[in-house]
Structure 1
Amino acid sequence: MGAGHDHGSHGHNHGPGHVHGSANQRRLGIAALITAVFMVAEAIGGVLTGSLALVADAAHMFTDAVSLGFAWWAFRLAGADPTEKRTFGNRRLPVLVAFANAIAIFMITAFILIEAAERFQEPVTVLAGPMLVVAVAGLIANIVSFLVLMGGHKESLNVRGALIHVAGDLLGSIAAIVAAGVILATGWMPIDPILSVLVGLLILRSAIKLCRESGHILLEGTPAGLEPGRVRTVLEGHIEGVAAVRHVHVWALDENRPLITLNVVLEDDADGFRTIAAVKARIKSELGVDHTTVEIDPPDIGHGAQAPRGAAT
């Protein structure tokens, strides 16, 4: 009667959620393929025309192609059955991929900014006509990818994240078109590195957010709205038989799967099994968490140092 463990909906469900996952996987695959093809086209066009704006947009499209590809791959692997070595399966794989993608974006952004600084000092002649053609083709590709993803299941963070990336690509293509137009109209070459810097900063902003959110999960940070104090407030005084709630730990397996462990002290003559069930039911109804581990503490255990998480599982 010492501990109760609830896997809730961790069973293998192949109903509507599985259907949405398959559709989203297909949409991500199409968007990744389109982005990758036009990333190559823009990179070649940037080199041939001398346009840093095109190279910057190609770099942005590269990170997005990788992100979309890994998101597609993660959909394939995330549903794998748990094993003895991976009791949660591959549920955290998309988070790890997101963190690695953020690091790659930092490196590419640094390259763009350094190259732009060099071009401010030594301007490079840009072939604005071919640059405009390539930029327009890239814009069309980004619009197609955006429309493909718009039809995805909006509850999927993978799909919403992909939409944000493709929207960034749209802005990058627009920046390249504007740069080509300005050069054609005025011959003013500095517009190319100026707009490439703006695209680089756009990428950097997205990378910082991606790194912060994925790193928080990897470090087992507390999900927003599930702070231990709130968990105690939801339980204490609301569950018959619970005298105190201690050692609350909250973290997340991925963006959608929070987990809670906690210890409770029972009131005299309380039924342990019934109380554990009531604690889990209230956490699920009030906080939406369906994976909770509850351990019963004897009343004479002090309120001192927090027990390690392993003690509550």
Structure 2
Amino acid sequence: MTDAAHLLTDLGSMCVSIFSLWISTRPPTKTMNFGWHRSEILGALASVLSIWIVTGVLVYLAAARIINNDYDIDGHVMLITSGCAVGVNVIMAYILHQSTTFHGHSHGSGYEKIGDSPTSGLLMHIGPHGNTSVRAAFIHVIGDLLQSIGVMVAAIMIYFKPQYKIADPVCTFLFSIFVLGTTTTILKDVFWVLMEGAPHSISHGAVKEVLLTVEGVRSVHSLKLWALTLSQNVVSVHVAIDGSHDPDTVLREATEVLQSKFDFFMSTIQVEKYLEDMGDCPQCQDPMG
């Protein structure tokens, strides 16, 4: 019961991942200024929620089966279904793993410039960190593969020992907990990106320290870091400079140092003249925490 239902959600998750990967390669528009990159985040969210809904239904049905003492299970059918599930999950895991590793070896950074054609853009979009929705599907498939192996063991037990049919709902409980656990990390990442959280790999202090090394920069304020996706980071900052330095030169050097140190997907730097009272400006203070 669990294996058959999860096999269907595996297929659905894979389709959602492929669709979100395709839509994320679309170029920016006047209304979608950052492009469609976050479709991968929404795809991951849809995959995880579908998994949780199906798991909740299966847990309910398993509990009802135990309460009502309903164990009408065909061990032969269960064995065939679990065997097919193992095979399908192995194939899907291989496809998803190959897509991420192939493109990860082909490109140095997590995200490269999208190609001119839809096909090249689709292929170049996956880096070593992987598209979030593809990663969600891959983790889920691995979890289901282990679950399918467990169900196969239960099916063999039921096939040879029909009196142990309670193994089916018990497997549902055990592996439902396992599947939920494997998707929790993905859900945390999705929540972090949608809440405009700062990138985990880049600290606020490190960026400020690097900018202060640029010749002519006296202070840095209004520094904002956020993750457009898990592998695409964006920065917006104001730098105050001495009046004796050329703003264009400072802007160029600040942009270059940010790209060389942190490889931001997009950076916006506002150059302004340094004033002594900036230290007392509430808007110029570093964020708490």
Alignment of 1:1-313 (within 5 A): 55-123=1-69, 124-154=71-101, 155=104, 156=126, 157-158=130-131, 159-186=134-161, 187-236=163-212, 238-300=213-275, 302-303=278-279, 304-306=281-283
Residue in structure 1 matched with residue 107 of structure 2 by the alignment: none
Q: CA distance change for structure 1 residues 113 and 153 in 2, over 3 Å: closer, same or farther?
A: closer
Find the residue that maps to 2:99 and give its secondary structure: coil
- The question of whether the paired residues in 2 share the 8 Å contact of 1:96 and 1:218 is answered with no
Q: Is the 8 A contact 1:70 1:94 kept in 2?
A: no
Shift of 1:160: 4.1
The DSSP-based 3-state class of the residue aligned with 2:81 is: helix
1:119/1:65 CA distance change after superposition, 3 Å: same
| Cα pair distance change 1:183/1:306, threshold 3 Å | farther
Task: Work out whether residues 249 and 262 of structure 1, in 8 Å CA contact, stay in contact via their aligned partners in 2.
Answer: yes
SS at structure 2 position matched to 1:250: strand
Does the CA contact (< 8 Å) of 1:60 and 1:203 recur in 2? no
Identical amino acids, percent of aligned pairs:
26
Q: Check 1:151–1:217 CA distance in 2 against 1; reply closer, same or farther (3 A cut).
A: same
Long gaps (5+) in structure 2: 105-125, 285-289
Is the CA contact (8 Å cut-off) linking 2:140 and 2:183 kept in structure 1? no
In 2, the alpha carbon distance for the partners of 1:226 and 1:189 equals 52
Q: Matched residues in 1 for 2:78 and 2:249: separation?
A: 70
Aligned length: 252
3-state SS of 1:151 partner? helix
- Higher relative contact order at CA 8 Å, sep ≥6: structure 1 or structure 2? 1
Whole-angstrom CA distance in 2 between matches of 1:215 and 1:208: 11
Separation in structure 2 between the aligned mates of residue 224 and residue 80 of structure 1, nearest angstrom: 26
The amino acid across from 1:109 in the alignment is: T
Rounded to whole Å, the distance in 2 between the matches of 1:151 and 1:109 is 27
TM-score (norm 2): 0.80
Name the SS of the counterpart of 2:196 in structure 1. Answer: coil
RMSD between superposed Cα atoms in Å: 1.9
Counterpart of 1:146, as a letter, is: A
DSSP 3-state at the match of 1:117: helix
The offset of 1:277, in angstroms, is 1.1
Cα distance in 1 for residues equivalent to 2:35 and 2:73: 50
Change (3 A) 1:290 1:142: closer
CA deviation string 1:193-220 (max 9, x = no partner):
1111122112211332222111111111
Which secondary structure does the structure 2 equivalent of 1:152 belong to? helix
* 2:115 aligned partner: none
CA distance in 1: counterparts of 2:27 and 2:206, whole angstroms:
32
The farther-off stretch of 271-280 and 76-85 is: 76-85
Counterparts of 1:145 and 1:290, CA distance in 2: 31
